[in-house]
């Protein structure tokens, strides 16, 4: 039994269209020759003082983020 193609070669897709298709991420990225892996990253932490943090919090409250 053959699988239905993920994408229609006669159609143009926007970036957001790929998320609306409802395909599994692994299947979709494999179509383009990539793979997908979720993992935790241990990124460096900034140890300095964030002197504009208060301003950012106020903006977030203002825009209700």
Q: Which domain holds residue 25?
A: 8-43
Rounded distance between C-alpha atoms, residue 65 and residue 36, angstroms: 29
53 in any annotated domain: no
Reading the block at residue 43, the tokens are 């990124």
Give pTM, 2 decimals. Answer: 0.46
3 in any annotated domain: no
Question: How many independent structural domains does the chain possess?
Answer: 1
Quick check: 3 pLDDT over 90? Answer: no
23 in any annotated domain: yes
- 7-45, pLDDT tens digit by residue? 888 999 998 998 898 888 888 888 889 998 889 999 999
DSSP at 50: -
Reading the block at residue 48, the tokens are 């300095």
pLDDT of amino acid 13: 92
Rounded distance between C-alpha atoms, residue 18 and residue 10, angstroms: 15
25 in any annotated domain: yes
Quick check: 63 pLDDT over 60? Answer: yes
Reading the block at residue 45, the tokens are 């932490």
């Amino acid at each position: 039994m053959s699988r239905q193609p993920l994408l229609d070669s006669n159609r143009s897709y926007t970036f957001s269209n790929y998320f609306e298709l409802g395909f599994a991420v692994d299947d979709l990225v494999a179509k383009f020759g990539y793979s997908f892996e979720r993992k935790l990253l241990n990124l460096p932490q900034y140890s300095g003082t964030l002197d504009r943090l208060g301003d950012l919090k106020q903006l977030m409250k203002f825009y209700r983020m």
